[in-house]
Structure 1
Amino acid sequence: METTSANKKRHLGLIITLMMGYTMAYMDKSLISTAMIPIAKQYNLSSSQTGLIMSAFFLSYALTQIPSGWLADKFGSKIVLLTSLSFITVFAFIFGIVSHLFIFMLIRFSAGVGQGGYPSATSRAITENFDQKQRTFVQSLMLSTSGIGGILAFTLGANLIAVNWRYAYLLLGSLCLIATILAALFLPRKEPANAATKQKTPIKYVSLLTNRNVLLLFSILILVNYLLYGIMSWLPTYMSQQFDLTISTLGILLAINAAFQTVGSFSAGLLLSKFFLGRERLFIVTLCLASALFLVGFILATSLVVSMILLLLLTTCSVAAFTSIFSWPHKLFDESIIGSVIGLINTGSAVGGVLAPMTLGFLIEVASGSFFLAFISMAVAILASAIIILFIRPKATSAH
């Protein structure tokens, strides 16, 4: 009983530590979209230029996914997680003191290097410390922090941005520093001695790169994250222009929306574990179709109340879809290569993040400031992802 109790406490501490790090990562991703409103005004930046600043982050985020996954599988999760959090901390502080377009891009690129290691290392930590039956739910808990990070970004962060956007990055850096210290103290030093989690044969990266399900999941996440990061990047600008909102009011509305990100992630974990076990494909396709429908309704709505209702529905469904897709590899692949698999498919997430801000910025400029074409392109992307999901094989090889 003492051993069981000790394990429960260890698991709870590990979950809280990992969730705090993830929360800071998502706060960083969310904060930039609101901060770009005063930054663009202060430095007279165009939509394309602000899009480049946001895309610079995702370019490095994409480039670091594969090596980070490999490092997490080879050396364990702790060293990768600590390195990731340290990068996020340092470059959050630095972003708050620079004042030039190129330097903004460089700092965001560097922050993306740090954040690129966090998802795969977290998945590796989950595999190292939790049983197979627990992993989908624990992974969904990690992804639910997107909402918590968003709430922090759109409440504390937005209020500070309304005073001076640099203060928001001082806050972010301070919180990231706390998360780094907690990770150093509470993450297990070594991988637990569990024979099931030890890699039996060397990873064959060629096999992973040609694995059908890896390639399909990679493509799906490009499209899903084109929507998610497109909304994250341009929603504050769209809402403030469409409804003439102040940053403080906008922050409240976006914080409510962020809370529904947590609802989407958490509910996805529960539903997949209890009602859609073995029927993940049907669940995800339904969510993608609903997301496309709500997105079209959102861009056509002219009332703030109607827009918010549709936005909350869109957020819940799209985040639930992403959570389900991101958790699926724990059931599709051998646990000894989960860090590498997550690193590979999450590269698709990052590619979507690279494409979304700058592509949508370009489409907004082409449409003379109208967001209609940009938002329709996101609806098309999520519909395309629903089609590709149909070709996932429920039982994948371990790619050895």
Structure 2
Amino acid sequence: MGESGREKDRVSLFPLLIASTTFFLSYYTRLTWSILSVYMPFHPTVTQDAHVFALYFLGYVTMQVPAGFFSDRCSGGKIISGAMLLLALSTFISGGATSVYHEYLASLLMGVAAGWVYPASLKLIDNYYRVNRSLYIGYYSVAWPLAIVASGFFLPPIALHLGWRWGYLLPGLLCLLFAVLSFPLGTESGPGKKINWGLLKDREVLLVSLGGFLFFLSYWSITLYAYKYFVSIGINHVLAGYIFSAMAVVGLFSSSISGPIIDKVGLKRTVVLSLLLYGLITAAFAWVFHWVWLLVLALVMGFTRFIITPGNNNILVRIGKENVGAVTGIANMVWQSSGMVGPLLSALLIHNLGFAWFWPAIGAVVLLSIAFYASIRL
């Protein structure tokens, strides 16, 4: 058993460092394929891109419910440690791949490993930082845009100067380090050992799950195809990486100030207004081609996107209460299943209609998600 949340707040920011860094690694390794596949000698096709992403999310999604329930009942640090070890193994397999079939296997294992990190790391935040929780959730959520920024800035130069394999091997070594560092961290056990299956049909859990599914369907489609789109319209590879990173760089700021914004404006209102702006900006990419204006759009997109992300985290903590791990697992299972559907639908759309229709269609999906978020009772 651990100390009370109030006492832990005074002790150390080490749990925040572990939670945010391991979440960063689980997300950064997910993004590597989006960029490194361009540099691989076996030249994966758009359809194979979609298959790699779909296999990742198949592994990720199947882990969410067990990860959520175990995070409420077991040591969060030990769960994260085991996940980091498996994540390291999967990145080493990717770095040593000689065909896309090796990447299929690595992607599935990577999804299984990363699937345990989000529920366990959010449980760490809830357990250690119960005072000013929304502030700490905002700091924790910085890991998300930071992963996108880091991937766009570092992966193209690493691939060009060291070789694409090092884009996988370096984060694998970091995973091993944080497997060791996270192991001692414990979390308080939840209510009993019995699984609360009623959470699967809870109204608020269903609404945030369905709204998040639509948001993340658009999100993963953009994440997978944005870099390739920028290259396809004539932007050079490194500059395209910077624009890709710009889709998140302002999120480093917006995530960190999301707590005060949510406290002042209101949680639901903040998320709904951000989704409205995010959907309109997404559609606008279809009519902008100069790199300067693409950069501006990407920066504004990043600001709104990473108000939504900590907003989602706050909703889960608010409605989950003592079952925050389980609620996170259930909602994230639905959210991330969009990673299997979105890339496949997007590949079909791009093949048949081209990128001109990709951006408006994805923007419309974001706007549709507002109906679900607006109905949540907090």
Shared topology, TM-score over 0.5?
Answer: yes
Aligned ranges 1:1-400 → 2 under 5 Å: 7-8=8-9, 10-39=11-40, 42-131=41-130, 133-163=131-161, 164-184=163-183, 187-188=184-185, 190-191=186-187, 198-199=190-191, 202-205=194-197, 207-246=198-237, 248-273=238-263, 275-276=264-265, 279-335=266-322, 337-367=323-353, 370-394=354-378
1:136·1:328 contact (CA, 8 Å) conserved in 2? no
**Are the aligned partners of 1:135 and 1:330 in contact in 2 as well (CA < 8 Å)?**
no
Q: Match for 1:299: what amino acid? A: A
Q: Is the 8 A contact 1:224 1:322 kept in 2?
A: no
Q: How far has the Cα of 1:201 moved from its partner? A: 8.1
- Is this contact kept in 1: 2:6–2:128, CA < 8 A? no
Matching residue's letter, 1:21: T
Task: Find the aligned partners of 1:75 and 1:6 in 2 and give their Cα distance.
Answer: 20
Q: How far off its partner does 1:224 sit?
A: 0.8
Partners in 1 of 2:94 and 2:133 — Cα distance?
A: 35
Alignment: residue pair count = 374
* Inter-CA distance 81–50: structure 2 relative to 1 (3 Å threshold): same
Q: Aligned partners of 1:86, 1:9: CA distance in 2, in Å?
A: 30
1:7 Cα deviation (Å)?
Answer: 4.3
Q: Using the alignment, how far apart are the partners of 1:45 and 1:7 within structure 2?
A: 48
Does the 8 Å contact 1:126/1:138 carry over to 2? yes
Q: CA deviation at 1:377?
A: 2.1
Structure 2 contact 284–360 (Cα < 8 Å) conserved: no
Distance in 1 of aligned mates of 2:7 and 2:204? 38
SS state at 2:79 partner: helix
**C-alpha distance in 2 between matches for 1:61 and 1:126:** 21
Give 1:117 shift: 0.6
Residue 265 of structure 1 and its aligned partner are, at CA, apart by 2.1
Judging changes above 3 Å, is the alpha-carbon distance between structure 1 residues 252 and 302 closer, same or farther for their aligned structure 2 residues?
closer
Structure 1 pair 165/126, CA: closer, same or farther in 2 (3 Å)? same
Q: CA deviation at 1:239?
A: 0.9
Q: Aligned partners of 1:243 and 1:280: how far apart in 2?
A: 40
CA contact (8 A) 1:243 1:304 kept: no
CA–CA distance in structure 1, aligned partners of residues 305 and 73 of structure 2:
33
Q: Secondary structure at 2:289's aligned position in 1?
A: coil
Name the CA distance, whole Å, in 1 between partners of 2:307 and 2:256.
Answer: 8
Distance 2:85 2:137 in 1: 22
Q: Percent identity at matched positions?
A: 18
Task: Describe the shift of the 1:293–1:46 C-alpha distance in structure 2 as closer, same or farther (beyond 3 A).
Answer: same
Instruction: Say which is worse superposed, 7-16 or 285-294, in terms of deviation.
Output: 7-16
Flag the 1:179–1:366 CA change in 2: closer, same or farther, 3 A: same
Cα RMSD, aligned residues only: 2.2
User: How far apart are the structure 1 equivalents of 2:276 and 2:190?
Assistant: 39
The separation in 2 between residues aligned to 1:142 and 1:43, in whole angstroms, is: 37
Aligned amino acid, residue 253 of structure 1: I
Distance 1:356 1:142 in 2: 26
Runs (4 or more) in structure 1 with deviation over 6 Å come to 3-6
Q: Which runs of 5+ in 2 are unaligned?
A: none
The answer to whether the Cα contact below 8 Å between 2:37 and 2:44 also exists between their aligned partners in 1 is no
Question: Conserved in 2, the CA contact under 8 Å of 1:65 and 1:343?
Answer: yes
Q: Which residue of 2 aligns with 1:397?
A: none
Contact 1:25 1:149 (C-alpha < 8 Å) held by counterparts = no
Q: State the SS of the aligned residue for 1:165.
A: coil
Q: Secondary structure at the match of 2:96?
A: coil
**Counterpart of 1:328 in 2: which secondary structure?**
helix
CA distance in 1, matches of 2:216, 2:118: 14
Counterpart of 1:239 in structure 2: which amino acid?
A: F
What are the Cα deviations for residues 258-295 of structure 1, in whole angstroms up to 9, with x where unaligned? 3223223223223113x12xx32211111111011111
**1:313 counterpart letter in structure 2:** V
CA distances 1:349-381 after superposition (whole Å, capped 9, x unpaired): 2112222222211211112xx212222221111
Q: Which amino acid aligns with 2:214?
A: L
The answer (yes or no) to whether the contact 1:76–1:124 under 8 Å persists in 2 is no
